[in-house]
Structure 1
Amino acid sequence: MDKIDLLIIVTVISLFISLFLAFFLLTVKTKYRTSNTLFAVFLIITAVDTSEPLFSLLSDGPSNLGMLRNTLAFLQIPVFYLYVLSVCYSDFKFKLKYIIHLLPFLLANAVLLPRFYTVDLASKINFIIHRQSMIELQFNHVLFHIQIVIYLIAVFRVLKKAKKLYLENYAGANINSYHWLFQFTVVLTVLYLIVVFKNIFKFSDYSYISEWIKIGILVFQLFIVCWYLFKALNNPGLFRNIDSKLKLASDMVSEEKKSDPETISKEQNSAELLKLKKYMMEEKPFLDPSLTIQHISNGIEIPTRELSVLINHQLGQHFYDFVNTYRIENAMAILKDVTKSKVTVLEILYEVGFNSKSSFNTAFKKHTGYTPTEYRKIL
Structure 2
Amino acid sequence: MDSFNFQKTIAIISVFILFLLIIFLLTADSNKKLSNRLFAGYLILTAVDASGAFISNTIISIHTSIEVFRWTMILLNIPLFYVYVLSLCYEDFQLKTKYLLHCIPFVVLNLILVFRIYSNEFDKRFFFRHHSETAEMIIFQIMIEVQYFLYVIMIISLLKKYKKIYLENNSFSTNSVYKWLFQITIVFAIVHYFGTFKNILRYTDYHQLLIFVNGFLEIIALIAISWFVLQSLKYSEFFKGITSEVELVKGFTKTHIPKTLIQEEKNNHSIINFQVEMLKKYMIEKKPYLDPSLSLQNLASQINMPARELSILVNSNMNMRFFDFVNQYRIENAMELLQNHSKSDLTALEILYKVGFNSKSSFNTAFKKHTSLTPSEYRKTYSKIY
> TM-score per shorter chain, which class?
over 0.9
Q: In structure 2, how many angstroms separate the alpha carbons of the residues matched to 1:191 and 1:278?
A: 53
| 2:129 is the alignment partner of 1:126 | no
What residue number does 2:254 align with? 254
| Structure 1 residues 354-369: aligned runs within 5 Å | 354-369=357-372
Please show how residues 210-229 of structure 1 align to structure 2 within 5 Å.
210-229=210-229
The 3-state SS of whatever aligns with 2:7 is helix
Q: Report what 2:20 is aligned to.
A: 20
Q: Distance in 2 between matches of 1:273 and 1:250?
A: 19
Structure 1 segment 170-249 matched on structure 2, within 5 A: 170-249=170-249
Amino acid at match of 2:271: Q
Structure 1 132/257 Cα, relative in aligned 2: closer, same or farther at 3 Å?
closer
How far 1:184 moved relative to its partner?
A: 2.0
Offset of 1:169 from its aligned partner? Answer: 0.2
Residues 30, 237 of structure 2: 8 Å contact kept: no
The CA deviation at 1:15 is: 0.9
Distance 1:60 1:232, change over 3 A: closer
Q: Verify: 1:352 aligned to 2:325, yes or no.
A: no
| SS of structure 1 residue aligned to 2:123 | helix
Residues 266 and 292 of structure 1: is their aligned pair in 2 closer, same or farther, counting only changes over 3 Å? same
Shift of 1:263: 4.6
Tell me, which stretches of 5 or more residues in structure 2 are unaligned? Answer: none
**Within the alignment, does 1:112 sit opposite 2:135 as a pair?**
no
Aligned-partner SS, 1:354:
coil
1:262-285: per-residue Cα shift (whole Å, max 9, x none)? 553322211110111011101100
Alpha-carbon distance in 1 for matches of 2:77, 2:44:
9
Q: Tell me the alpha carbon deviations over residues 175-221 of structure 1, each in whole angstroms, 9 at most, x when there is no partner.
A: 42112311221222222222221111123333553343233222222
Match status 1:295 vs 2:298: yes
Q: Quick one: which of 304, 318, 322 aligns to 2:325?
A: 322
SS at match of 2:117: helix
Which amino acid is 1:255 matched to? T
Q: Aligned letter for 1:77?
A: I
| Aligned residues of 2:328 and 2:370 also touching (Cα < 8 A) | yes
Superposed CA offset, 1:110-132 (max 9, x none): 11112111224x71112222323
By how many angstroms is 1:259 displaced? Answer: 7.2
Pairing partner for 1:332 from 324, 332, 335: 335
Whole-angstrom distance in 2 between the partners of 1:321 and 1:30: 31
Task: State the match for 2:29 in structure 1.
Answer: 29
Task: Supply the distance in 1 between the matched residues of 2:78 and 2:257 (Cα, whole angstroms).
Answer: 39
Shift of 1:167: 0.4
Kept in 2: contact 1:327–1:352 (CA 8 A)? yes
In 1, Cα distance between equivalents of 2:324 and 2:184 = 25
| Sequence identity percentage | 40
Closer/same/farther in 2, CA of residues 369 and 231 from structure 1, 3 Å limit: farther
Tell me how many residue pairs correspond in the alignment.
378
Stretch deviating more after TM superposition (190-199 or 208-217): 208-217
1:108–1:140: 8 Å Cα contact kept in structure 2? Answer: yes
Separation in 2, partners of 1:242, 1:211: 46
Q: Matches of 2:288 and 2:202 in 1, distance apart?
A: 60
Instruction: State how far apart, in whole Å, the 1-side matches of 2:259 and 2:324 are.
Output: 29
In 2, Cα distance between equivalents of 1:112 and 1:157: 33
TM-aligned CA distance change 1:338 to 1:11, over 3 Å:
same
The separation in 1 between residues aligned to 2:316 and 2:117, in whole angstroms, is: 59
Q: Aligned to 1:245, what secondary structure does the other structure show? A: coil
CA contact (8 A) 1:232 1:238 kept: no
**Conserved? CA contact 1:312–1:318, under 8 Å:** yes
Shift in Å, 1:222: 2.7
Pairing partner for 1:269 from 268, 272, 278: 272
Q: Which amino acid aligns with 1:323?
A: V
Q: Distance in 1 between matches of 2:269 and 2:252?
A: 17
What's the TM-score, normalizing by structure 2? 0.92
Q: How big is each residue's C-alpha offset from its partner over 1:23-45, in whole Å with a ceiling of 9 and x where there is no partner? A: 11111111111111111111111
Deviation (angstroms), 1:358: 1.7
CA contact (8 A) 2:167 2:174 kept: no
Please provide the CA RMSD for this pair: 2.0
Match of 1:89 in 2: 90
Structure 2 distance, partners of 1:67, 1:60, is: 9
Output the CA distance in 1 between the equivalents of 2:31 and 2:257. 41
8 Å Cα contact 2:60/2:67 also seen in 1: no
Greater displacement, 261-270 / 127-136: 261-270
The answer for the alignment partner of 2:77 in structure 1 is: 76
- 8 Å CA contact 1:168–1:318 kept in 2: the answer is yes
Q: Aligned in 2, Cα 1:234/1:14: closer, same or farther, shift over 3 Å? A: same
